[in-house]
Structure 1
Amino acid sequence: MEWWLAYLALGGFVGFFAGMLGIGGGMTMVPFLVFLFEAQGFPAEHILHLSLGTAIASILFTTVSSVRAHHARKAVNWDVAKAMAPGILLGTFGGALVAGALSMRPLAVFFALFVYAAATQLLLGIKPKPTRQLPGRAVLFLLGAAIGAISSWVAAGGAVMTVPLLTFCNVPLLTAIGTSSALGFPIAAAGTAGYVLTGLDNHNLPPLSVGFVYLPALVGLVVASMATAPLGARAAHRMPVTVLRRIFALLLYALATRMLISLL
């Protein structure tokens, strides 16, 4: 029973900060899931795979309400989303298949390096200046495939890469955020499918796992995060978000480092 409470608490924490700062929860969720799964005695060689698979599956549910809200405000460029989605599906699914077959060490190092880069971007407030127009559909397809592959390795919805890319190409910030939100669903769908398939033949996983997705954790995370995300969005208008971003960046550094020490 105490593990359900832990999953609910983690989901609430991640949802609140995702709503406040517009940051996907995977980078925060994965290290915490690693710690919780270790404490439950899950197979050490698959703890990171289970954490990544469960975290990316949670994005399936949390992106739906976000996409609806952005679409209602006409803040989604569906032409860009349609051009990037096939590449994202291909890249994410392929990336998840590769990640599921990899040993934990290279996967953990890649995840930590990505989190360090994202935390540095948050800490310094790095924003690309719009200097060019959107590329053609072929290039958007390739960029989508690259974003999808990386997202599948870090259980992210892609916003940390998609939003800077689109703003660099003169897409207004709110439209970039809305379009990135729409692309989070195909990332989550393909990533979940990949982690489920690669884990199905593994018989050394905890009960109630579907491939590398652990259902009790998934339910707790989704229920709590969907409840607290609106609270975080409301708080963003009342709190010093710049300071909170820096605190959150330092937390990401600490979590990624602690996870590396634990897994390596």
Structure 2
Amino acid sequence: MEILKSPKEAVNFRNNLKGSVGFVPTMGALHEGHLSLIKKAREENDNVIVSIFVNPTQFLPGEDFNKYPRRLEADFEICKRAGVDAVFTPNPENMYTDDEILIKAPKIKGYILEGFFRPGHFDGVLQVVNKLFNIIRPTRAYFGKKDAQQLYLIKQMVKNFFFNIEIVEGETVREKDGLALSSRNIYLSDEERKRALSISKALKRAAKLSTKTDDIETIKKEMLDILEVDELQYIAFVDRDFNYIQKIQPGNTIVLIAAYVGTTRLIDNIYI
């Protein structure tokens, strides 16, 4: 397995590859959710490249950029065992300049939900993914449905910028008790982790109720009764194109939650 530390090294490596390339962009601290994407990429492509880069431009002031978990050696071992051909680990200095040409998230769907509570976050996400796509030039790129709004916007960017890349969606991977896997789960105390389970429980309740009623307010009320979080930022009901909906649309609805449990911000969703 090759370790590629600069964009130039990655471009040179990519230029020598034959066949299809599956790409899994990550910020490291790899868990089973990432591994499921890597395995999918391995099954569907001749070559697999994983990037590990804690991207500074998608963190807002006061967020956890400096304490975001970094376990590079452990991540390398995970990738090696999963049959990854190369890991791209750039640093901010070789990915960004002082006076960048910027990419902006769309004015509406880039500034609702996550974009409202983290203004500018998606600008940074799209900026770095654009760079990574140009460096790696993948045949297919793999993203998890847990970050549903991010996934939608990346698919929009691929369409708007005419990238010849297939975006492959991976299902949210959960612990046995239902907690969605996230690198930030390590911030949770034992007591907080128990309360964090109320997020997935509320989503499961929404899915079950949606088979009996399409009334969003009824479903939302029952979800609120289940949640045990310290600060609820939103419960949202949208269609697959991230338009707010008035009633459940079976097969075309995403229910999303963002909340703080202790000082840890968690997001989760369910497709119904």
**What is the TM-score with the length of structure 2 in the denominator?**
0.27
The structure carrying a bigger helix percent of its residues is: 1
Structure with the larger strand share = 2
Larger Rg: 2
TM-score by length of 1: 0.27
